[in-house]
Amino acid sequence: MAKINETHDPALTSWVLSANDGRTDFPIQNLPFAVFRRQGTQEAWRGGVAIGDQIVDMAAALQAGIFEGDALPAAQAAAEPTLNHLMALGAGKVSHLRKALSKALRAGSKDEAAIKAGLVPQSQAEYALPASIGDYTDFYTSIHHATNIGKQFRPDNPLLPNYKWVPIGYHGRSSSIGISGQSFKRPRGQLKSPDADAPQVKPCARLDIELEMGIFVGQGNELGESVPIEQAESHIFGLVLFNDWSARDIQAWEYQPLGPFLSKSFASTISPWIVTMEALAPFRTSFAHPADDPQPLPYLSGAANSAEGGLDIQLEALIETSQMRNAKAAPARLTLTNYRHAYWTAGQLVTHHTVNGCNLQPGDLLGTGTLSGPTLDQACALIELTSGGKNPVQLSNGESRTWLEDGDTVILRGWCEKPGTVRIGFGECVGTVLPSA
Ligand code: MN
């Protein structure tokens, strides 16, 4: 697991002054990666690094000759139009680049003038998917979400017997994963109400969010090889916010016996900035299953995973309805939770995914599953917040929602705060529902 080093020093400040205000998601201790270009141009997509309200254009910084030695291979890969090659280099080489960026962006750096010439304000940027995502797997790592959903179908036996032994997941569709800012049409599909004889094809009437984190795979593993738990984190490049939009009525009719299909593959949205595991090092937490639960099998157990496998990341979902937008009112919070409540760690997901020899590849995306916390106000999907559609959520402007309506925008945010550290964040993951075609 990545260790705390000089790049995490809370005393560090940047010559980019907006990075030093203590509120930004992107202080010099964060340094996340994205793929961007200036809005409204046909410029080439290239990698960038967030600092305050600016972006270090990695292609420009490379041209300026900022990087050398150990940092050069990763700097070259970080300037490409996708970050798959950077991810493939592995955490060690990416760490050399992080150290070089930290030095170049520090107050008093000799590189200030050279980098400043290539800075792009985030307000003038647009983003692309940061990697070509070959495969996408979605897990189900919140026991609270699994229990809340299970109760709606099986009140007496909400959790299926495998849940506490196996990190449950399914293979999703990567082609429909989009970047923050995307709008998508309300999906259509087969819907069948319980009292109807036959399904009908109609627009989804129970459109929902799922607040998750997305885990970008870094270095891959060969087909036939498994990744031991002790090495799992070295195969993770970093994390993004992830909204796994879900059509609950399509899902209810289609999911048995093979699981979700068209209820999930119409759109999923990720945030543009990938926060590396190294940046998250100060925010690790211990991990344990409750003492009365089955303990993870040996291949999912490790000293480091127990000591610091968890992550203390605050997560928030907000909704901005058309009415709020027209009134210029602030979005309303739907939920606030924390990633540390997850029943399986990110490392355990990698190790379990490869226990059969499945080959993960750089740029693959793992969804954590809906990250609902232990109480109802920490639930991360409307199906939980409304108890299956029975109790609408009251919004701050007097509106209510049972399910998403056309024109609704959902905003996910995530951040880490801890005494003795500098706050870091993930930016935003934003998506908007358009009317069905
Ligand atoms: Mn999901």
Q: Are both 266 and 346 inside the same structural domain?
A: yes
Looking up residue 62, the CATH number of its domain turns out to be: 2.30.30.230
Burial class (CB in 10 A: 0-12, 13-18, 19+), 240: buried
149 Cα–ligand 1 center, Å: 12
Q: Are both 82 and 147 inside the same structural domain?
A: no
Looking up residue 200, the CATH number of its domain turns out to be: 3.90.850.10
| Chain centroid, CA 304 distance in Å | 23
Q: Are both 147 and 40 inside the same structural domain?
A: no
Contact of 392 with 401, CB cutoff 8 Å: yes
- The domain total for the chain is 2
SS3 content of the chain, % helix, strand, coil (to 5): 25, 25, 45
For residue 1, tell me if it sits in a domain.
no
HSE, side-chain direction, 13 A CA sphere, residue 419: 0
74 Cα–ligand 1 center, Å: 32
Q: What dihedral angle (degrees, nearest 10) is formed by the CA atoms of 430, 400, 335, 390?
A: -120
pLDDT per residue over 203-214, tens digit each?
999 999 999 999
State the Cα–Cα distance between residues 57 and 64, nearest whole angstrom: 11
Closest CA to 404 of 249, 282, 258, 202: 249
Q: Are both 81 and 229 inside the same structural domain?
A: no
- Helices marked H in 269-345 — which ranges? 303-308, 322-326
pTM above 0.75, yes or no: yes
pLDDT per residue over 362-377, tens digit each?
999 999 999 999 999 9
319 Cα–ligand 1 center, Å: 18
210 Cα–ligand 1 center, Å: 6
**83, 103, 128 - which closes a domain:** 128
235 is a catalytic site residue: no
Contact of 158 with 150, CB cutoff 8 Å: yes
Q: Are both 22 and 167 inside the same structural domain?
A: no
367 Cα–ligand 1 center, Å: 7
282 Cα–ligand 1 center, Å: 27
pLDDT tens, position by position, for the chain (437 residues)? 889 999 999 999 999 999 999 999 999 999 999 999 999 999 999 999 999 999 999 999 999 999 999 999 999 999 999 999 999 999 999 999 999 999 999 999 999 999 999 999 999 999 999 999 999 999 999 999 999 999 987 888 899 999 999 999 999 999 999 999 999 999 999 999 889 999 999 999 999 999 999 999 999 999 999 999 999 999 999 999 999 999 999 999 999 899 999 999 999 999 999 999 999 999 999 999 999 999 999 999 999 999 999 999 999 999 999 999 999 999 999 999 999 999 999 999 999 999 999 999 999 999 999 999 999 999 999 999 999 999 999 999 999 999 999 999 999 999 999 999 999 999 999 999 999 98
**76, 97, 128 - which closes a domain:** 128
Contact of 42 with 64, CB cutoff 8 Å: no
Of the residues 8, 85, 145, 352, which is catalytic?
A: 145
Q: Which domain holds residue 78?
A: 6-128
Contact of 354 with 227, CB cutoff 8 Å: yes
Residue-by-residue DSSP string for 201-223 = EEE-SSEE--EEEEEEE-S---T
